[in-house]
Amino acid sequence: MTTCFSGLSRNHYVGEAIGKGRTLKSVISRMKMVAEGVPTTRSVYRLAKKYDIEMPIAQEIHKVLFRNKSPRRAVGDLMTRRRKSE
């Protein structure tokens, strides 16, 4: 819960800054510590591709962090994706 809601959380800080329009590079360059969610997102994305596992949330987060997709568009794409049993 702290990672999600606390202003002291590094992951929260990164997500909020990106949501405000900053790039990942500019956010990370100002940090002295690691926001674990950033490298974890890359690892999860690669493993999902390797094992052909659909992980829509991880895929969209990867696009936002590493491919400059707007967070608003990523959420929109997640919310309007085709419904299916999961």
Homologous superfamily (CATH) of 2-79 is N-(1-d-carboxylethyl)-l-norvaline Dehydrogenase; domain 2 (1.10.1040.10)
Q: What is the pTM of this model?
A: 0.87
Report the largest interatomic distance among the alpha carbons of the chain, rounded to a whole angstrom.
Answer: 42
Domain range annotation of the chain: 2-79
Tell the burial category of 55 from Cβ atoms under 10 Å away from its Cβ (0-12, 13-18, 19+). Answer: middle
What DSSP string runs through 35-74? Answer: -THHHHHHHHHHHHHHTT---HHHHHHHHHHHS---HHHH
Tens-of-pLDDT digits for all 86 residues of the chain? 777 788 788 999 999 999 999 999 999 999 999 999 999 999 999 999 999 999 999 999 999 999 999 999 999 999 999 988 87
